[in-house]
């Protein structure tokens, strides 16, 4: 064959002897010693000779038909074999210039458009590692179906589209871009997002329209949840439940609380405090001990020593209210000097040692004023009684 050479583990053993054919049906062939060597049966219709053995150094002719007989030890070189329906051989070796096999591996054999079997350089079988290596993949039509594990090692995947509900386990993304993806039950360890721009974040199962404007809180299961008690409406903070604070609360804008607010610490306000109800101090007898009655006379004497003043707050020095000092009103106010009050009534002075400032409990002056009023009332009544006695004495002398 011109393009295909087949080495068959068979070989002819040829000797110089030529058969002479005649029109007879049978002819006997003798060897050099005159002994009968073979008997040839000749068929005039098919023009074929039948014999048991044939020994020749060469054969010349257009065709050779063994009619199903077994050929042993035959070597066919540079020959063209056509019309073979079934051929059993022990080994076939492809020898062709286009075959680029190396000692480390050979490419699989393929049949080209001309029906010629040849090797391809695009697929190599590595004998040492027992691996089939494909340097490049061409087009596979509509799809490529792989039913075994595929390990791409360090190769790059480009333009990969995964079907919905595809499960990926133990996957590591490096320098990747994830777009239009939904992540559920994701645990991120040492995650560095860098510059992340998020246009919108939606809370799962957020269907209630009355939760519009609600603040996002973290539930016990770690999921984001819409708060049902704290909302933002047109620049206002609306709180429908109790507010508990363990430290100071600084308010720079309006704060509206529809429910009760409980503060565990101090409340610092740079502006005015306005309320529709009274300011209430806890004054239950059950919660008071070591109760001592005030001396009305002494209270009156001490109150008379206090000096009321008018003033403007120096907001630049109010470091404790530094976050709200810009909103502090600078209009003139009236009150006492805390250091003066502390000398006479230390119980009425608030001393913040951490922030180094003092304040006055103005509402707690009421008991002192009441006791002073009682003392003044007693003195007025005594004077009235004395005046009455004087008038009566004058009348008696007349």
Within the chain, which residue ranges are assigned CATH 1.10.10? 292-398
Residue 391's pLDDT band (cuts 50, 70, 90): very high
Residue 201's pLDDT band (cuts 50, 70, 90): low
Tens-place pLDDT, residues 326-336 = 455 568 899 99
Residue written as token pair 């993806």: 181
**Higher local confidence (pLDDT), 386 or 38:** 386
Tens-place pLDDT, residues 251-294 = 766 777 777 777 777 777 767 777 788 888 888 999 999 999 99
Residue 104's pLDDT band (cuts 50, 70, 90): low
Residue 380's pLDDT band (cuts 50, 70, 90): very high
Q: Determine phi and psi for 351, rounding to 5 degrees.
A: -115, 110
Asked if residues 328 and 348 have their Cβ atoms less than 8 Å apart, the reply is no
What is the pLDDT, as a whole number, of residue 5? 36
Residue 362's pLDDT band (cuts 50, 70, 90): very high
**Higher local confidence (pLDDT), 214 or 6:** 214
**Higher local confidence (pLDDT), 296 or 198:** 296
Cβ-based neighbours of 135, under 8 Å, separated by 6 or more: 122, 124
Among 52-61, 161-170, 221-230, where is mean pLDDT lowest? Answer: 52-61
Question: Rounded mean pLDDT of 54-62?
Answer: 67
Q: For the chain, what is the mean pLDDT?
A: 76
Residue 2's pLDDT band (cuts 50, 70, 90): very low
What is the pLDDT, as a whole number, of residue 15? 35
The pTM score is 0.43
Residue 348's pLDDT band (cuts 50, 70, 90): very high
Q: Which of 27-41, 206-220, 246-260, 384-398 has the highest mean pLDDT?
A: 384-398
- The topology (CATH level 3) of 292-398 is Arc Repressor Mutant, subunit A (1.10.10)
Q: Which of 88-97, 101-110, 272-281, 307-316 has the highest mean pLDDT?
A: 307-316
Tens-place pLDDT, residues 153-193 = 777 777 888 888 888 777 777 777 777 777 777 777 777 77
Q: Judge whether residue 138 has pLDDT over 60.
A: yes
Q: Judge whether residue 246 has pLDDT over 80.
A: no
């Amino acid at each position: 064959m011109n393009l295909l050479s087949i080495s068959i583990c068979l070989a002819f053993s040829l000797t110089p002897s030529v058969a002479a054919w005649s029109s007879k049906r049978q002819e006997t062939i003798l060897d050099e010693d005159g002994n009968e060597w073979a008997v040839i049966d000749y068929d005039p219709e098919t023009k074929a000779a039948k014999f048991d053995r044939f020994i020749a150094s060469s054969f010349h002719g257009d065709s050779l038909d063994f009619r199903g007989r077994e050929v042993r030890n035959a070597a066919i070189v540079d020959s063209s074999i056509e019309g073979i329906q079934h051929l059993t051989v022990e080994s076939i070796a492809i020898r062709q210039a286009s075959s680029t096999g190396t000692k480390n591996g050979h490419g699989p054999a393929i049949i080209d458009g001309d029906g010629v079997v040849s090797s391809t350089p695009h697929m190599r079988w590595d004998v040492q590692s027992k691996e089939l290596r494909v340097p490049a993949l061409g087009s596979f039509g509509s799809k490529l179906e792989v039913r075994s594990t595929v390990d791409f090692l360090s190769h790059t995947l480009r333009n990969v589209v995964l079907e919905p509900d595809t499960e990926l386990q133990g996957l590591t993304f490096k320098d990747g871009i994830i777009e239009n993806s939904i992540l559920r039950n994701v645990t991120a360890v040492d995650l560095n997002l860098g510059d992340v721009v998020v246009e919108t974040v939606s809370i799962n199962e957020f269907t209630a329209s009355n939760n519009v404007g609600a603040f996002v809180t973290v539930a016990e299961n770690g999921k984001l949840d819409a708060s049902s008690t704290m909302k933002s409406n047109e620049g206002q903070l609306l709180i429908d439940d109790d507010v508990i604070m363990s430290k100071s609360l600084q308010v720079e804008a309006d704060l509206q609380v529809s429910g009760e607010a409980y503060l565990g610490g101090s409340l610092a306000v740079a502006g005015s405090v306005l309320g529709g109800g009274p300011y209430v101090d806890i004054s239950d007898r059950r919660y008071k001990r070591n109760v001592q009655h005030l001396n009305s006379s002494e209270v009156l004497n001490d109150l008379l020593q206090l000096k009321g003043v008018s003033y403007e707050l120096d907001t630049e020095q109010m470091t404790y209210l530094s976050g709200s000092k810009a909103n502090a009103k600078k209009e003139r106010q009236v009150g006492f000097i805390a250091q003066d009050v502390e000398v006479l009534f230390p119980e009425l002075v608030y001393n913040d040692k951490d922030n180094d400032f003092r304040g006055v409990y103005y509402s707690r002056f009421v008991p002192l004023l009441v006791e002073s009023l009682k003392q003044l009332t007693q003195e007025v009544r005594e004077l009235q009684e004395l005046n009455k006695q004087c008038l009566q004495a004058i009348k008696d002398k007349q």
